[in-house]
Amino acid sequence: PLCKTIIFQDITLYTVKAILILDNDGNRLLVKYYGDTFPTAKEQNRFEKDLFNKMHKSNAEVILLDGLTCLYRASVDLNFCVIGNARENELLLLSVLNTLFESVSQILRKEVEKRTFLEHYDSILLAVDEICDAGVVIQSDPAEVVLRAGVRGDELSLGEQTMAQVIQSARDQLKWSLLK
């Protein structure tokens, strides 16, 4: 036959198994597990410990662990990890990792460290929920994630705001100075 049949097996929108943000000691700061990959806290903690140990021994940004593909990025004293199944497209997982890192970076105003992370924990938790819902990637634009997470424009630096946001902020400040 001239025409070959292509069968797509295991195609699913559920691409992310977990999103983890760990500190430099491997302690969890923010974790979201999707599906039933690690149903108990004991299994999650064991996986996080194994992942952290393997991350520090490896120079690569992609690790295969327990039949899962793990992409990670370190910054000062935080480690950002996105986990997918072994056959998942690494570029898709990398896109989620980059969106996560850039969103957190914008929320923390480029001070991506544990202290500022903990100060803005609520906004970061909302940002993670905007990126991925139940393992399905729903947003890959960091600016949109930050906007949807509810970070106000005046909380961002001038370089991260749109021109309309800068003008609106200036109008508000002028209005309040005239009313005083």
Encode pLDDT of 13-27 as tens digits: 778 999 999 998 889
Distance of alpha carbon 119 from alpha carbon 54, whole angstroms: 29
| Stretch 73-84: mean pLDDT | 90
pLDDT of residue 5: 58
**Is it true that domain 18-149 has CATH number 3.30.450.60?**
yes
**pLDDT tier for residue 75 given thresholds of 50, 70 and 90:** confident
| Stretch 53-69: mean pLDDT | 85
Contact 100, 19 (CB under 8 A): yes
Would you say residue 176 has pLDDT above 70? Answer: no
| Stretch 42-69: mean pLDDT | 88
- Spatial neighbors of 156 by CB under 8 A, at least 6 apart, are 106, 109, 146, 165
pLDDT of residue 86: 85
Long-range contacts of 30-35 (CB under 8 A, 24+ apart): 30/121, 30/124, 30/125, 30/128, 32/128, 32/132, 34/132, 34/134, 34/135, 35/134, 35/135
pLDDT digits (tens, 9 = 90+) for 38-47: 889 999 999 9
pLDDT of residue 83: 94
pTM for this predicted structure: 0.74
| Stretch 160-165: mean pLDDT | 56
> For all residues of the chain together, what is the average pLDDT?
82
Would you say residue 175 has pLDDT above 70? Answer: no
**pLDDT tier for residue 71 given thresholds of 50, 70 and 90:** very high
